[in-house]
């Protein structure tokens, strides 16, 4: 069943997120722009190129084939190859040219999304999370862009995100995956009850009940077997296997063995 998401909040979150990234990177020195990001093979500037390159792909544009990138250690699939082609495309251009493309493409995408009717917004789409609605795809784009804001800030020591609007949608997208982490990756036994207590910018409690299968539920039917407490940014670092994950703090209350298995299973993003 396709996920139907409200259109206006997603578009507003995307616009806010892309503006935040623009403001953040525009204030960086050239040395910071060239700093290794912590993502294998990518600089800070490459992350920006990745964001605009992805929107270029969604808009139907193609990057030149250039070199063969399939053999790079951090390229795991065809999408990874396409990502690298866009990075190579922008590495051959100046920082100013990249930022000009970033601003024009993100503005175009917001205008196109705003003009989209509800049928198109809810239509079937091929997405990174499988067949879904186009609206869900755009929530994933908000999530991906927000994660990369965290990457950018971590790389240059710029603190943590401060806009709750895109952060809330990013957390909603992460919450959808929590049953998979608990039931499939961590192999929580039937009958398990788990609470994720996310603190910080957008506090949220997410409950997962494992019965015939793991599912997110509004409330648990009893006390949680384990509660995992962390910030949304530390959760993001753990889910992405980011360099900052080693310093991420997670408090485990209750079943320590189950909680540890879940924490060890949090890395699911490529």
Same domain, 223 and 146: no
Residue 203 lies inside a defined structural domain of this protein? yes
Q: Are 39 and 73 in contact (CB under 8 A)?
A: no
Same domain, 140 and 235: no
Residue 269 lies inside a defined structural domain of this protein? no
Number of separate domains in the chain:
2
Instruction: Give the integer Cα–Cα distance in Å for 252 and 226.
Output: 7
Same domain, 45 and 96: yes
Same domain, 204 and 237: yes
Q: Are 245 and 171 in contact (CB under 8 A)?
A: no
Q: What Rg value do the Cα atoms of the chain yield, rounded? A: 19
Predicted pLDDT of residue 78 = 65
Same domain, 176 and 211: yes
Same domain, 251 and 201: yes
Host domain of residue 208 = 167-264
Residue 234 lies inside a defined structural domain of this protein? yes
Residue 265: pLDDT band by 50, 70, 90 thresholds? very high
Residue 113 lies inside a defined structural domain of this protein? yes
Residue 270 lies inside a defined structural domain of this protein? no
Closest CA to 143 of 245, 224, 54, 230: 54
Q: What is the pLDDT of residues 217-258, one digit of tens each?
A: 999 999 999 999 999 999 999 999 998 888 899 999 999 999
Q: What is the pLDDT of residues 183-194, one digit of tens each?
A: 999 999 999 999
Q: What is the pLDDT of residues 47-93, one digit of tens each?
A: 999 999 999 999 999 888 677 777 676 767 767 788 889 999 999 99
The residue-averaged pLDDT of 212-221 equals 97
Domain boundary among 129, 159, 189: 159
Residue 174 lies inside a defined structural domain of this protein? yes
Predicted pLDDT of residue 91 = 95
Same domain, 147 and 36: yes
């Amino acid at each position: 069943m396709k996920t139907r998401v409200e259109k206006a909040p997603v578009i507003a979150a995307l616009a806010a997120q892309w503006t935040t990234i623009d403001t953040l990177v525009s204030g960086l020195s050239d040395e910071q722009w060239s700093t290794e990001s912590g993502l294998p093979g990518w600089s800070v500037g490459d992350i920006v190129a990745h964001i605009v390159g992805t929107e270029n792909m969604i808009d139907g544009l193609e990057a030149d084939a250039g070199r063969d990138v399939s053999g790079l250690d951090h390229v795991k699939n065809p999408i990874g190859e396409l990502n690298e082609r866009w990075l190579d495309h922008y590495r051959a251009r100046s920082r100013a040219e990249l930022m000009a493309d970033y601003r024009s493409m993100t503005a175009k995408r917001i205008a196109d999304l705003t003009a989209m009717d509800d049928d198109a917004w809810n239509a079937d789409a091929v997405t990174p999370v499988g067949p879904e609605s186009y609206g869900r795809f755009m929530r994933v784009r908000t999530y991906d862009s927000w994660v990369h804001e965290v990457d950018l800030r971590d790389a240059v020591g710029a603190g943590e995100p401060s806009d709750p609007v895109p952060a809330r949608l990013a957390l909603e997208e992460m919450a959808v995956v929590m049953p998979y982490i608990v039931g499939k990756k961590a192999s929580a036994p039937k009958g398990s009850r788990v609470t994720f207590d996310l603190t910080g910018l957008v506090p949220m409690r997410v409950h997962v009940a494992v019965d015939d299968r793991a599912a997110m539920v509004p409330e648990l039917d009893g006390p949680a077997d384990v509660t995992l407490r962390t910030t949304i940014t530390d959760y993001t670092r753990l889910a992405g296997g980011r360099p900052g994950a080693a310093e991420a703090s997670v408090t485990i209350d209750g079943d320590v063995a189950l909680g540890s298995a879940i924490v060890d299973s949090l890395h699911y993003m490529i």
